């Protein structure tokens, strides 16, 4: 059931409206759809309806330069006892040219809408073990060149665990080279939407190894001069999460794949907290991973996320989740004495 929510700035409660990325984008609600749900931007016309029920934005993709079929089926598995999903879809998508054509056809509709929802595009390397090194960077840049003029923000998915060769851009050298290439392309473009980097969750973000890994990536992103924020975090390719006995049995039978949903919630929130700390709260963070209630969303906001995204919760709870989180956040903000959501961002560091 889709239920309309009060205006984000309604006098009946704390404001959920935010202007982020130097005022370049406005968000009426902090709750969005994570990448992976609308891979090929098919649902963009429906986001206007979603806005009436608490949806604040969406991140389509991941989109790669070339079309990709992804991995063999079955490649997506539910863990009902844990409200989790394991996927090894392998970045299946129609490719940047097809998605750009679709976004172009929707652009006039979006701009005319009184309930416009910002749409970001998540880009990743084409799912092919033959695209490595400079070719992998060129692949990213091709997608950026094609899609950035049509996106409200662009997410560089440097951490996808489902690539054919198993390699990500989450090492210092690779990330620096990628950001340098995107920076050069950005200088040649009339369009420069905010750029965010999507990170994966270390097993323990507070550990020495986890902290140093994040410190290096955040430092490189900040020094690049083109990164405006972070998406934290991706699915987890390891199995260092707490699962039910049924979940453990299912995982053993399923094998490889990225895990999302409730079991990832605390780990994702810990990673958000560390990234917020390392960045000095200077860049907006989109928090994702196990958000399935107002309480889990609020925990991520207090840890440093300005926005949150849901995916697995839509699978288990339906689109009404946006209404529930939207209304619940107002209640939690009011309970803690905040007049706006921006006051709550990173509040755990201010007490």
What is the 3-class SS of the chain, one letter each residue? CCCCCCCCCCCCCCECCEEECCCCEEECCCEEECCCCCCCCCCHHHHHHHHCCCCCEEEEEEECCCCECCCCCCCEEEEHHHCEEEECCCCCECCHHHHHHHHHHHHHHHHHCCCCCCEEEEECCCCCCCCCCHHHHHHHHHHHHHHHHHCCEEEEECCCCCCCCCCCCCCHHHHHHHHHHHHHHHHCCCCCCCEEEEECCCCCCCCHHHHHHHHHHHHHHHHHCCEEEEEECCCECCCCCCCCHHHHHHHHHHCCCEEEEHHHHHHHHHHHHHHHHHHCCCCCEEEECCCCCHHHHHHHHHHCCCEEEECHHHHHHCCCHHHHHHHHHHHHHHHCCCCEHHHHCCHHHCC
Across 210-227, average pLDDT: 93
Q: State both tokens at 127.
A: 């799912």
Among candidate residues 76, 160, 188, 265, the one labeled active-site is 160
Which residues, 6 or more positions from 182, have their beta carbon under 8 angstroms from its beta carbon?
140, 141, 144, 156, 195, 226
Catalytic annotation on 188? no
pLDDT of amino acid 102: 95
What percent of the chain stands above pLDDT 70?
91
Confidence (pLDDT) at 86: 92
Per residue in 195-209, pLDDT (tens digit) is: 999 998 886 777 778
What is the rounded end-to-end Cα distance, in angstroms, of the chain? 38
Domains of the chain, first to last: 18-349 (3.20.20.70)
Q: What is the pLDDT of residue 65?
A: 96
Q: Kindly indicate the confidence band of residue 161, based on its pLDDT and cuts at 50, 70 and 90.
A: low
Residue 74: asked if its preceding bond is cis (omega within 30°), the reply is yes
pLDDT in tens, 79-103: 999 999 998 888 899 999 999 999 9
Contact 156, 140 (CB under 8 A): yes
Residue 115 pLDDT class (50, 70, 90 cuts): low
Read off the pTM: 0.92
Residue 66 makes CB contacts below 8 A (sequence gap 6+) with 95, 96, 126, 128, 139
Q: Are 227 and 176 in contact (CB under 8 A)?
A: no
> What are the CA-CA distances from residue 26 to residues 182, 231, 270, 287 (Å)?
24, 17, 26, 17
């Amino acid at each position: 059931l889709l239920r309309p929510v009060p205006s984000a700035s309604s006098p009946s409660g704390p404001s959920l409206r935010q202007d982020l990325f130097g005022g370049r984008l406005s968000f009426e609600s902090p709750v969005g759809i994570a990448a992976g749900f609308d891979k090929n931007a098919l649902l963009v016309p429906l986001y206007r309806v979603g806005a009436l029920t608490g949806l604040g934005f969406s991140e389509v993709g991941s989109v790669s330069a070339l079309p990709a079929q992804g991995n063999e089926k079955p490649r997506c598995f539910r863990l009902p006892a844990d409200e989790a999903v394991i996927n090894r879809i392998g970045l299946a998508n129609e490719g940047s040219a097809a998605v750009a054509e679709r976004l172009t056809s929707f652009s006039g509709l979006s701009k005319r809408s009184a309930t416009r929802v910002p749409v970001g595009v998540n880009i990743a390397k084409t799912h092919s073990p033959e695209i490595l090194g400079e070719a992998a960077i060129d692949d990213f840049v091709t997608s950026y060149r094609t899609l950035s003029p049509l996106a409200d923000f662009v997410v560089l998915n440097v951490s996808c665990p489902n690539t054919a060769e198993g390699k990500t851009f989450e090492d210092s050298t690779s990330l620096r080279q990628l950001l340098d290439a995107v920076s050069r392309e950005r200088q040649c473009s009339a369009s420069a939407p905010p750029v965010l980097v999507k990170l994966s969750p270390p097993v323990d973000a507070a550990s020495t190894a986890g902290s140093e890994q994040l410190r290096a990536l955040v430092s490189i992103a900040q020094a690049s001069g083109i990164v405006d924020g972070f998406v934290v975090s991706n699915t987890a390719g390891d199995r260092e999460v707490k699962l039910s006995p049924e979940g453990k049995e299912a995982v053993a039978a399923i094998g490889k794949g990225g895990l999302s949903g409730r079991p990832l919630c605390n780990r994702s929130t810990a990673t958000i907290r560390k990234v917020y700390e390392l960045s000095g709260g200077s860049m907006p963070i989109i928090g994702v991973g196990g958000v399935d209630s107002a309480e889990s969303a609020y925990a991520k906001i207090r840890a440093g996320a300005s926005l949150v995204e849901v995916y697995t919760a839509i699978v288990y709870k339906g689109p009404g989740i946006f209404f529930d989180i939207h209304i619940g956040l107002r209640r939690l903000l009011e309970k803690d004495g905040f007049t706006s959501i921006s006051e709550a961002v990173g509040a755990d560091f201010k007490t």
